[in-house]
Amino acid sequence: MVLAAALGGTAVMAQSEWTALARARARRQLAHEEQRRVEALAREGLVSEAELGKAKAAAALADLDYAEALWALQGSRLHVLVVDSIRHSSADALDAISLELALPPPGGRGEEELEVARSFGVADLKVSLLHEGVVVGYPYATVVPFLAAGERAQLHFRLLRAVDAPTVQLEYQNRVEQVTLVPRAQSSPRPFRVLALQPALAATFGEEARFVVRVEPLVADELTLALETRGLPEACRTRYVDTATGAGISSLRMEAGSRARDIELLVTIPAGEAPGVVPDIPIAFHLVLQGQGRAGQEVEVPLQLTPVGSPRLEVRAPTWLAEGVAGKTVALPLEVINTGTAPALGVTVVAEVPAPLRGFVGDPVERLAVGQKAAFQVLVEIGGEALPGEYALELYPRAQNQPRGRREGVSHFRVRVVRETALGVWGALAIAAAVAAVAGVAWLFRQRLD
């Protein structure tokens, strides 16, 4: 009977508050209509400013009365409810709790209900998890800025210690409410989950990329996970390392109740371009973890590796000195080798030749792979006015995919210009005549023998 009397008293109180709200709303409407009527008369000069001020003050007081009636209704009808609670398993052996809070809409009728619904709500709702008066959830407290009528709020807490039935404490509108609940357990869709800490990396040709992957068990059972990569070009080599021990592994074994573990996937890119390994073109592949036994699920982790590098060209030659006479052309044989980490495109040789010499280089090489060589010949034309002596030349390779203005692998050649003398011409003629004479004598000797 006591409970029935209390409920009956609450119903009567709520009904009287709705009645007071309806009356306050009607008075506010009449006050604002009167204000508009007086303002229209004031524009025609039919009423004084004092009467207009009284009408505005009456409308303002009607607004305050309505707000007070609305506040009284909210104070009696405002009850935040915990409509759902879920317990999630965690990798650190402590659970997480998800809460769903709701504020039921007011129970009035007609226009009053619509008016109240637009402004009915709770501001600065403070929520925390307790057990026997001690905070057991992190964050220690979460504040919902505003919870409107008919809306719901999702909150998440990490338990700081094992608690079967935590208490939710709600603080709002100068009141404190506590609800003890038993969260329902959420079954995990898989026995473990995997997170790549850096899913996309870039690595230079010939070097190793290091992916760190975190494995979190979602069950208390023992887990054995086989490791595999899919989608990598054959030229790339892989290995796995347990970061806790530094040992190489092919599978990951986790004891019952283990915490999260980190493993490293090390991918070595070939020193030069290979099928499927092209500079600046990302390689998309997957790390696959295959559970054994009861945990026999397969999880694929998408990863991306971008090979990067740059060509480095060097000039090599059998000699760095050539000799010639004025008016002639000297050929300088040389080769260019790519010692960098990426193919070189459009390779040629630039010759900086002092006057009165001129240099000419053949057609460029379309592509020079890492470690590959290309033969070039630089023709140096010695002007007829060139004086005897040594002339210094600078030769350096250049590729289209190298930064502009870079001068790498500069080599210094020397061209020695000598004077052609008459003695040298007559000496050559004398040697030729002597050779011819010897040949004639040998022919006559064979004729006599015949």
Strands, sheet with 251-254, edge to edge from the N-terminal-most edge strand = 200-204, 298-308, 283-291, 223-230, 251-254
pLDDT band at 441 (very low <50, low <70, confident <90, very high): low
Residue 167 pLDDT level (bands cut at 50, 70, 90): very high
- The yes-or-no verdict on residue 181 having pLDDT over 60 is yes
CATH topology of domain 81-185: Immunoglobulin-like (2.60.40)
Q: What is the pLDDT of residues 230-258, one digit of tens each?
A: 999 999 999 999 998 999 999 998 887 78
Question: Taking Cα atoms as reference points, which of 408, 380, 411 lies closest to residue 394?
Answer: 411
Domain 313-419 has CATH 2.60.40.10: yes
Q: Is the model more confident about 27 or about 22?
A: 27
Report the range of poorest mean pLDDT among 26-40, 141-155, 419-433.
419-433
pLDDT, tens digit (0-9, with 9 covering 90-100), for 293-337: 655 678 889 999 999 888 889 999 988 899 999 999 999 999 999
Backbone angles phi, psi at 65, to 5 degrees: -65, -40
What was the pLDDT predicted at 91? 39
Quick one: pLDDT band at residue 445, thresholds 50, 70, 90?
A: low
Structure confidence at residue 7 (pLDDT): 36
**Confidence grade of residue 12 (pLDDT, cut at 50, 70, 90):** very low
Q: Which residue would you say has higher pLDDT here, 116 or 335?
A: 335
Q: What is the 3-state secondary structure (H, E, C) of the chain?
A: CHHHHHHHHHHHHHHHHHHHHHHHHHHHHHHHHHHHHHHHHHHCCCCCHHHHHHHHHHHHHHHHHHHHHHHHHHHHHCCCEEEEEEEECCCCCCCEEEEEEECCCCCCCHHHHHHHHHHCEEEEEEEEEEECCEECEECCCEEEEEEECCCEEEEEEEECCCCCCCEEEEEECCEEEEEECCCEECCCCCCEEEEECCCEEEEECCCEEEEEEEEEECCCCCEEEEEEEECCCCCCEEEEEECCCCCEECEEEECCCCCCEEEEEEEECCCCCECCECCCCCEEEEEEEEECHHHCCEEEEEEEEEEECCCCEEEECCCCEEEEECCCEEEEEEEEEECCCCCEEEEEEEEECCCCEEEEECCCEEEECCCCEEEEEEEEEECCCCCCEEEEEEEEEECCCCCCCCCCCCEEEEEEEECCCHHHHHHHHHHHHHHHHHHHHHHHHHHHHC
- Residue 115: pLDDT above 70? no
Q: What is the mean pLDDT of residues 419-427?
A: 58
pLDDT at 139: 92
pLDDT for res 304: 95
What residue ranges do the domains of the chain occupy? Answer: 2-77, 81-185, 192-308, 313-419, 423-450
| 33 or 342, which is more confident | 33
The CATH architecture to which 192-308 belongs is Sandwich (2.60)
**Length of the chain measured in residues:** 450
Check residue 4 and give its pLDDT: 37
Instruction: Answer whether residue 192 shows pLDDT above 70.
Output: yes
On average, the pLDDT of the chain sits at 82
pLDDT tens, position by position, 61-82: 988 888 777 766 665 556 788 8
Residue 89 has pLDDT above 80, yes or no: no
Residues 397-406 have pLDDT tens digits of 999 888 777 7
Q: Tell me if domain 81-185 and domain 313-419 are identical in fold.
A: yes
**Residue 327: what are its φ and ψ, rounded to 5°?**
85, -5
